[in-house]
């Protein structure tokens, strides 16, 4: 499949998962991501995999736990309210160090919210919506093509670090069609899953997801996980830099918002404004060093999000108060326009 | 080259498919394209609309606040989308279903009796969306018609039996527009 085809975001994720060797999918329908389930319900049986519509999101995430413990590549997907329901299971997956891919095509919140695009699940994805000292690897695509490459990458990173990976998209990315080219996933070889439970067959007993009641022992577990997260922070940061390399104002945005910010950079250029954009592709690990460097160079930062200020906190932590950080956001399913952002940019620059 | 097109009408008029063929044609012509559907809490028989953007630059938002072209397949979508048209934009009205007149300064208003042409000329009422698409390309040649035919064939892969009638519908709408059609440029 090297031909350029027009494909919907949700379907692109689903096909990319199959190409990455995903054999099992458990999910429960919710707009705006149900096409992922719909596509896989047809496609997975074709490749000898299993599609199962669970009775609830809670059941689906626990099926993911079981399937992942067997060593298979497994995925679930939902949108905000459904991802909230999965949080207990996600916390359990992290301490059992079970690799899996969780897709959140987020929508307006809180509560049931609505079904329009939103980025208000940033805190939930990056800061942990479940309990305990854990981290997910969080990837933020901004085009249908990138939904494919990041789905491939998500499965690789999940196995590499034995950690759940969340793909944080939104209703716009899930529902839109763009031209894509499917390329084969290519990553370095991974260690074999000698921890997986595939039937005892006379060998010694293996345990996945140990109960650690003793405080010192649990602290050890947490410290080990912490070292892993530091390793991830060191190795896996991805971002895109766009626009002027010596900007007068640095813009920071992810996903759908970053697309709009590219328009802002181009329109700003026409007005003689030197604007730079950093688009974090990994939200954890966060590209804090690069943002810090460019922010100091520019002297001012504007963060734009489809929420009332979530990632902006990580940008502020990255610059540690050395540079003023401004914020503009729309929420509830509203999408900021390039026009409005540009007038905000002009205010800040002048 | 940058065109933002909103196509609106009833569910069942083939609006999302019309948009898909248009976006595919743009892709085949080598442009950046995006297709974005309305996916609100709509019911069957309710409203449907989609936004197609065709551009020589990377596309930002896939929705449009000020489209260059609005295709109104029914009356509600005319009054919903036409007011946002850019100056110099094209309003293409399905005059089979829209009786009311619309006034806005600085736009071109064109008509296509799509239901009649699909029913009587093509002899298949379901092809009205392709009649409209043909007319759109006739009135505003943003893409070559040949590329739209190619896109249609690509979008109908696996349903080859439908290609001939739909090609005929495209041709019918295109000819109607190219032979003068009904247009009116509002004065500023």
B170: enclosing H helix or E strand:
helix B163-178
| B49 in A contact zone (CB under 8 Å) | no
CA distances A130 to A3, A86, A94, A112, B175, Å, are 41, 9, 10, 18, 61
Report the run of H or E that residue B79 belongs to, with start and end: helix B75-81
**Does the distance separating the beta carbons of A262 and B61 come in below 8 Å?**
no
B175: helix, coil or strand?
A: helix
* A3: chain B residues, CB-CB within 8 Å: none
Rounded CA separation A78/A100 (Å): 14
The nearest alpha carbon in chain A to B24 belongs to: A6
- B58–A177 C-beta distance less than 8 A: no
Contact yes or no for A4 and B27 at CB 8 A:
yes
B24 vs A: CB within 8 A: yes
The confidence score (pLDDT) of residue A145 equals 98
Give chain B's domain count: 1
pLDDT at B188: 46
Which residues in chain A are closer than 8 Å to B24, comparing Cβ atoms? 6
Q: Is the peptide bond before A285 cis (omega within 30 degrees of 0)?
A: yes
* Chain B contact set for A32 (CB, 8 A): 39
Residue B164 C-alpha, separation from nearest chain A C-alpha, in angstroms = 22
pLDDT tens string for chain A (350 positions)? 579 999 999 999 999 999 999 999 999 999 999 999 999 999 999 999 999 999 999 999 999 999 999 999 999 999 999 999 999 999 999 999 999 999 999 999 999 999 999 999 999 999 989 999 999 999 999 999 999 999 999 999 999 999 999 999 999 999 999 999 999 999 999 999 999 999 888 888 999 988 999 999 999 999 999 999 999 999 999 999 999 999 999 999 999 999 999 999 999 999 999 999 999 999 999 999 999 999 999 999 999 999 999 999 999 999 999 999 999 999 999 999 999 999 999 999 98
Dist CA B90 CA B67 (whole Å): 9
| pTM of the predicted protein model | 0.95
What residues of chain A lie within 8 A of the CB of B33, using their CB?
6, 178-179
Which residues in chain B are contacts of A176 at CB distance < 8 A?
34-36, 62
pLDDT of residue A196: 96
Of the candidates B23, B39, B62, which has its C-beta nearest A6's C-beta?
B23
Question: Residue A40: CA atoms inside 13 Å, Cβ hemisphere, count?
Answer: 32
Which residue in the set B33, B57, B60 is minimally distant from A179, CB to CB?
A: B33
The token pair at A270 is: 């026409």
| Short-list A87, A112, A117, A115, CA closest to A102 | A87
Whether A42 and chain B come into contact, CB under 8 Å, resolves to no
- B186 confidence band (pLDDT: 50, 70, 90): low
Q: Collect all residues of chain A within an 8 Å Cβ-Cβ radius of residue B36.
A: 172, 175-177
| Cα distances (Å, whole numbers) of residue B43 to A47, A170, B39, B40, B46 | 34, 22, 10, 9, 5
Residues of A in contact with B32 (CB under 8 A): 179
Q: Does A3 touch chain B (CB under 8 A)?
A: no
Query: How far B155 CA sits from the closest chain A CA (Å)?
Result: 9
Per CB-CB distance under 8 Å, the chain B contacts of A339 are: 65
In angstroms, rounded to a whole number, what is the distance separating the alpha carbons of residues A304 and A310?
A: 10
- Chain B CB contacts of A107 under 8 Å are none
Contact status of B68 with chain A (Cβ, < 8 Å): no
Contact A257, A304 (CB under 8 A): yes
Query: Any CB–CB contact under 8 A between B30 and chain A?
Result: no
Please indicate if any CB of chain A lies within 8 Å of the CB of B59: yes
Tokens in use for A21? 């060797």
Give the A:B interface size as CB pairs under 8 Å. 59
Instruction: Give A68 to chain B, closest Cα distance, Å.
Output: 33
Q: Which of B36, B40, B41 is nearest residue A172 as measured by Cβ atoms?
A: B36
- What confidence tens digit (pLDDT) does each residue in A226-257 have? 999 999 999 999 999 999 999 999 999 999 99
> Residue A263 and residue B61: Cβ atoms within 8 Å?
yes
| Minimum mean pLDDT range among A275-284, B65-74, B97-106 | B97-106
Residue A209 region by backbone torsions, left for phi larger than 0, else alpha for psi between -120 and 50, else beta: left
Interface check A269 vs B, CB under 8 A = no
Chain B closest-CA separation from residue A34 CA (Å): 12
Work out the minimum CA distance from B180 to partner chain A, whole angstroms: 33
Which chain A residue shows the shortest CA-CA distance from B57? A263
Q: Is A152 on the interface with B (CB under 8 A)?
A: no
Domains, chain A: 5-188+223-235 (3.40.50.970), 240-349 (3.40.50.920)
Per this entry, what is the length of chain B?
A: 188
Q: Mark yes or no for CB contact A339/B63 under 8 Å.
A: no
Domain containing B124 equals: 2-185
State the CATH number of the domain containing residue B70: 3.40.920.10
A263 touches chain B (CB under 8 A): yes
The answer to whether residue B34 neighbours chain A at the CB level (below 8 Å) is yes
pLDDT at B43 over 70: no
Q: What confidence tens digit (pLDDT) does each residue in A71-105 have?
A: 999 999 999 999 999 999 999 999 999 999 999 99
């Amino acid at each position: 499949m090297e031909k350029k085809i027009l494909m919907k975001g949700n379907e692109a994720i689903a096909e990319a998962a199959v190409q990455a060797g995903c054999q099992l999918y458990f999910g429960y329908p919710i707009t705006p991501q149900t096409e992922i389930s719909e596509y896989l319900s047809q496609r997975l049986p074709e490749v000898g995999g299993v599609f199962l519509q669970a009775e609830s999101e809670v059941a689906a995430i626990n099926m993911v736990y079981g399937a992942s413990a067997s060593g298979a590549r497994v995925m679930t997907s939902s949108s905000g309210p459904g991802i909230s329901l999965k949080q207990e299971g996600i916390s359990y997956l992290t301490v059992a160090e079970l690799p899996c891919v969780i897709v959140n095509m987020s929508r307006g919140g809180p509560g049931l919210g609505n079904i329009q695009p939103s980025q208000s699940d940033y805190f939930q994805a990056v800061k942990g919506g479940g309990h305990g000292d854990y981290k997910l690897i969080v990837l933020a695509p901004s085009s249908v093509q990138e939904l494919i490459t990041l789905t491939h990458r998500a499965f690789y990173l999940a196995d590499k670090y034995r950690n759940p990976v969340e793909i944080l998209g939104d209703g716009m990315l899930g529902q839109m069609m763009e031209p894509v080219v499917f390329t084969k996933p290519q990553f370095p070889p991974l260690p074999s899953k000698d921890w997986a439970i595939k039937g005892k067959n006379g060998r010694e007993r293996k345990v996945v997801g140990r109960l650690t009641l003793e405080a010192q022992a649990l602290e050890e577990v947490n410290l080990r996980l912490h070292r892993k997260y530091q390793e991830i922070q060191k190795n896996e940061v991805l971002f895109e830099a766009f626009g002027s390399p010596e900007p007068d104002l640095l813009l920071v945005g992810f996903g759908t918002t970053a697309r709009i910010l590219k328009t802002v950079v181009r329109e700003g250029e026409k007005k003689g404004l030197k604007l730079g954009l950093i688009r974090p592709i990994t939200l954890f690990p966060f590209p804090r060093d690069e943002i810090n460097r460019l922010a100091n160079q520019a002297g001012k930062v504007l963060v734009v999000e489809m929420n009332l200020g979530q990632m902006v906190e990580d940008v502020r932590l990255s610059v540690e108060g050395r540079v003023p950080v401004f914020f503009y956001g729309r929420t509830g399913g509203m999408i900021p326009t390039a026009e409005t952002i540009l007038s905000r940019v002009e205010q800040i620059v002048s | 080259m940058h065109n933002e097109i909103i196509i609106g009408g009833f569910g069942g008029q083939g609006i999302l498919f019309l948009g898909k063929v248009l976006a595919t044609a743009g892709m085949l012509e080598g442009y950046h394209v995006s297709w974005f559907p309305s996916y609100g809490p709509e019911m069957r028989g309710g409203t449907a609309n989609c936004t197609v953007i065709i551009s020589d630059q990377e596309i930002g938002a896939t929705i449009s606040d000020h489209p260059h072209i609005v295709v109104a397949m029914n009356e509600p979508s005319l009054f919903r989308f036409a007011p946002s048209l850019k100056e110099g934009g094209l309003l293409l009205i399905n005059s089979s279903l829209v009786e009311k007149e619309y006034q806005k300064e600085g736009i071109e208003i064109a008509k296509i009796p799509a239901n009649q042409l699909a029913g009587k000329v093509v002899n298949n009422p379901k092809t009205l969306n392709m009649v409209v698409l043909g007319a759109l390309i006739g009135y505003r040649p943003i893409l070559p018609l040949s590329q739209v035919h190619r896109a249609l064939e690509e979008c109908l892969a696996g349903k080859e039996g439908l290609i001939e009638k739909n090609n005929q519908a495209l041709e019918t709408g295109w000819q109607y527009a190219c032979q003068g059609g009904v247009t009116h440029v509002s004065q500023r």
